[in-house]
């Protein structure tokens, strides 16, 4: 069986950004369980606490790091909160 998940990433999120990171994980992920990707701090640098997650990803996830541009979203945004915006203006 071949998988599309050919890379792995480690992501560190400062604890105040956990809710935002979980919403992004939900948007990029493949199931509703992705909303619980980042749970509680498990690392500190002595100043800031972070939650760290390690996961496998598809090549499209890393594309912006290689090209410097985000993938173009060609699908219309449903339930928009104004022109071009989703619930929080995110596409």
Instruction: Flag whether 87 is in a domain.
Output: no
Instruction: Flag whether 45 is in a domain.
Output: yes
Residues 6+ apart with CB under 8 A from 26: 32, 34, 35
Residues 6+ apart with CB under 8 A from 2: none
If you ran DSSP here, which 8-state letter would residue 54 be given? E
What does the pLDDT read at residue 91?
35
Instruction: Flag whether 11 is in a domain.
Output: yes
What does the pLDDT read at residue 48?
95
Instruction: Flag whether 57 is in a domain.
Output: yes
What does the pLDDT read at residue 71?
62
Element (H, E) at 25: helix 18-28
Structural domain for 19, as ranges: 7-62
> Minimal CA–CA distance to 10: which of 37, 33, 35?
37
Whether the predicted model's global pTM rises above the 0.85 cut: no
Residue ranges, the chain, pLDDT below 70:
1, 70-91
Assess contact for 49 and 41: CB atoms under 8 A.
yes
What does the pLDDT read at residue 69?
75
How many domains does one find in the chain? Answer: 1
């Amino acid at each position: 069986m071949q998988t599309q998940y050919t890379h792995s990433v480690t992501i560190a999120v400062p604890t105040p950004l956990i809710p935002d990171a979980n919403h992004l994980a939900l948007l990029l992920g493949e199931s509703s369980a992705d909303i619980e990707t980042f749970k509680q701090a498990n690392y500190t640098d002595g100043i800031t606490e972070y939650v760290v997650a390690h996961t496998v990803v598809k090549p499209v996830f890393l594309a912006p790091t290689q090209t410097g541009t985000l993938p173009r979203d060609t699908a219309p945004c449903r339930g928009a909160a104004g022109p071009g915006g989703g619930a929080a203006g995110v596409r």
